[in-house]
Structure 1
Amino acid sequence: MAETEIEIDGAPASAAQLAALGLLNYGHFTTLRAEAGRVRGLALHLDRLVRDCRTVFAAELDREAVRDRIRGALPADGAPVIVRVTVFDPALGLERPGAAAGPRLLVTTRPAPAAAPGPLRVRTAAYRRELPEVKHVGLFGLIRHRRLAQLDGYDDALLTDPDGRITEGATWNLGFLDADGQLVWPEGDALPGVTAALLAGVHPGPQRRERVDAGSGPARYAAAFALNAGVGVRPIAAIDGTDFDPAHPGLAGLRAAYEGIGAEAV
């Protein structure tokens, strides 16, 4: 597959349908990696879509219909792809978004990266997503902060809340390893990530959740990493002025634990 493919309810997306999503920018989504017709954490991705559809549209989403749409969009040769399932209603308008909603399923696929990306260098940015528990399509603020970080020589932005707590990356969750190898998750309002939930479920050692303040907070940890469904566990080499060892042996253990999770058939 050489390029992104886009379908709505199993048929090629029209320009008018895509324009409706782009102009109103109201909906929610999940992104997953599929290979050979299987997805790690598929049930959790479906749970997210059903839960967020109730929040965003006050409507029920058919889990089996979502599976069918994902299955139908996968390449016949089983090549690894990144699949994004977006739920939106092209009939909703700017003037009456409170009308009864009839959500539709937009499925896009693109080739998955052939190699794992390198470590991230990130800087903190004061920003809290609207409705942070929902993976919604309101991405302007995230992309703005990512852009500004890249223009300043970093790879991405790491978000902090009004109290100065580190919460999440622009499109990823965050974890640390302390000096004893214990897994640490930052406290605060952040998206409940599927990859983070999967890793937490299989991590064999102790783990905890605690407040991590921007500034000197990250310096007390031995390693840091980003997580999302597209790349799994990705080392972080620096947060602002704090450097981490991207080859820390604990990170290899986390990657092995995550990659050992069985994938579910779509």
Structure 2
Amino acid sequence: MTSSVVHLNGQPATADELTPLAFAGYAHFTAAQVRDGRLRGLDLHLARLRGASVEMFGRALPDERIREYLRAALAAGPADVSLLATVYSHAGEFVPPRADVEPNVLVRTGPPASGPAGPLALAAVDHERDLPGIKHVGEVAKTYYLKQAVEQGFDDAAFLDRQGRISEGTIWNLAFWDGSAVVWPEAEMLRGTMMGVVSRQLERLGVPQRVREVRLADLPELSGAVVMNSWTPGVPVRQLGTVALPAAPDFVALLHRAHEAEPPTAP
């Protein structure tokens, strides 16, 4: 059984249906790791797709329809996969969205992933994403700045907004440890589903959390940092810009424990 499945609105997608999407860029998506047919934070993924659809297209499909499409794609592949659900309109780009046109849902699965082991060195880049609260496609800057960072000897890049605040990574959220609490950076960013899962489980575990502005000058006072996304709840960061960060294995272990505390569910 192949791990690569492509479904459009719950059915296997044809080449003719996929061809118009080759250069399309007005869409949003969510990404998840599925193990044994289940994923963590399903409610957060559904809320992400629902909110972005209303914002971009003026309407959203019912959650149960989305779940039906996810189930169909997962039933066609193995139990452990990476999953992408992308929402777009067949009305196309460069036209005003029509609320009477239902969005389409493209679900793709592929081999499971767990992210890099780290620790990572991140270049500090001045950049603010367009529509940062939406996980949308076509963001050339993320890959461009990753490429630039690697050419400079880093592993990836983190973004600084125009106020000099650290916001997020190319495809990551950032979290810091101040010795007693998890620190989430205050800035415009995409709130990741992994970030949501970890945050609510940390609350249930009684772990203090704070949201505050974090700048490069603040890093020496912090006791560790990680990046997280749908692959993993925490990859250690050893350097951000020119600032070295201490190893924080207990912090990383705490985030993984919080993730494991979230019960996985089937769509």
Q: Which residue of 1 is the match for residue 250 of structure 2?
A: 249
Q: TM-score, normalised by structure 1?
A: 0.91
Mapped contact 1:117–1:231 kept (Cα < 8 A): no
Counterparts of residues 66-145 of structure 1 (less than 5 Å):
66-74=66-74, 78-94=78-94, 96-100=95-99, 101-113=101-113, 117-145=117-145
Q: Report what 1:201 is aligned to.
A: 200
Q: SS in structure 2 opposite 1:30? A: strand
- Could you say if the C-alpha distance between residues 18 and 150 of structure 1 is closer, same or farther in structure 2, counting changes exceeding 3 Å? farther
TM-score w.r.t. structure 2 length?
Answer: 0.91
Given that residues 149 and 155 in structure 2 are in contact (C-alpha distance below 8 angstroms), is that contact kept between their aligned partners in structure 1? yes
> Aligned equivalents of 1:264 and 1:23: distance in 2?
34
2:228 is matched with: 227
Matched-pair contact (CA < 8 Å) for 1:30–1:85 = yes
In structure 2, list runs of 5 or more residues that go unmatched. Answer: none
How far does the alpha carbon of each residue in 1:210-229 deviate from its partner, in whole angstroms, 9 at most, with x for none?
11113x22222110011111
Q: State the SS of the aligned residue for 1:251.
A: helix
Q: What one-letter code is carried by the residue in structure 1 that aligns with 2:232? A: V
* Residues 122-131 or 229-238, more deviating: 229-238
Provide the aligned C-alpha RMSD in A: 2.0
Show structure 1 runs of 4+ deviating over 6 A.
Answer: none
Contact 2:69 2:107 in 1 (8 A): yes
- CA 123–75 in structure 1, closer or farther in 2 if over 3 Å, else same: farther
Deviation at 1:25, TM superposition (A): 0.6
Alignment correspondent of 1:191: 190
Q: Distance in 2 between matches of 1:241 and 1:50?
A: 39
CA spacing shift, 1:116–1:42, aligned 2, 3 Å: same
Write the letter of the residue equivalent to 1:57.
Answer: F
Counting only pairs closer than 5 Å after superposition, residues 136-155 of structure 1 correspond to structure 2 as 136-155=136-155
Structure 1's unaligned 5+ residue stretches are none
Going from structure 1 to structure 2, the CA distance change for 1:154 and 1:148 (only over 3 Å counts) comes to same
